[in-house]
Amino acid sequence: MKNPPALEQLIESLRCLPGVGPKSALRMAYHLLQRDRQGASGLANSLQTALQSVGHCELCNNFSEQPVCPLCSSERRETSQLCVVEMPTDLMMLEQTQSYNGMYFVLMGRLSPLDGIGPKEINLDKLIRRAQDGIVKEVILATNYTNEGEATAHYISELLKLRGISVSRIARGLPMGGEIEYVDSGTLSYALQGRRQY
């Protein structure tokens, strides 16, 4: 006794979602067919629309429905600074600080050889072309301070320095409200090394 073929196919297809294994896929398929057919139909349409209309901005590589995204085509941005982030969410967080007005480049990932993500997958060729447009004066690396984010930043900095482009890395130290008693020693050690003249 098995599920009907179209249902088995749906269960299999749901497994392309990250973090969804056989049990979750089964639960999702039952839920959609039993309790939320409207949602399932909406999801199918949204997937197709997104696949058709969402591509990447030619300049910043972020998701965009236009060839050049609204942020890159804005005339009020400082074009001499280029901030490199891993994901669109990082870009949004930086925008929320309202303390940066330059351009961005979104890698859409981080170097992670074990997951098969190398320089090509995170569009480093495109980044290097972008950084050599003659207008960008400084590349600010704002990848995460995880092992993979650090490795990515290091790799990019080497590539860019070879081409004579000025590269910087966002600071590491105590977070706002951070207490020395509770912070880990790695962070504290970097906070000491990165001290600034008052």
Distance CA 92, CA 38 (A): 31
Q: By CB under 8 A, is residue 191 in contact with a copy of itself? A: no
Structure tokens at 185: 């020693």
- Site membership for a copy of itself, residue 112 (CB under 8 A): no
CA–CA dist 115, 190 (Å, integer): 29
Nearest distance in Å: CB 180, a copy of itself: 31
- From the list 51-59, 137-145, 162-170, 189-197, the region that binds a copy of itself by CB under 8 A is 51-59
Q: How far is the CB of 97 from a copy of itself (least distance, A)?
A: 12
Question: Judged by CB under 8 A, does residue 50 bind a copy of itself?
Answer: yes
Cα dihedral sign, 152-50-39-22: negative
Query: 3-class DSSP state for residue 179?
Result: coil
Instruction: Give the whole-angstrom CA distance, residue 112 versus residue 89.
Output: 19
Smallest Cα–Cα separation from 82: which of 28, 138, 43?
138
Q: Among 21, 67, 73, 92, which residue interacts with a copy of itself (rule: CB under 8 A)?
A: 92
* CB of residue 36 to a copy of itself, shortest distance in Å: 5
18 interacts with a copy of itself by CB under 8 A: yes
Does position 89 bind a copy of itself by CB under 8 A?
A: yes
* Residues in contact with 84: Cβ distance below 8 Å, sequence separation at least 6, in sequence order: 104, 105, 107, 127, 139, 140, 141, 142, 143, 153, 156
Contact status: 33 vs a copy of itself (CB under 8 A)? yes
Which residues of this chain interact with a copy of itself, rule CB under 8 A? Answer: 1-7, 9-10, 12-14, 16-19, 24, 26-37, 39-54, 63-65, 69, 71, 87-89, 91-92, 95, 108-109, 121
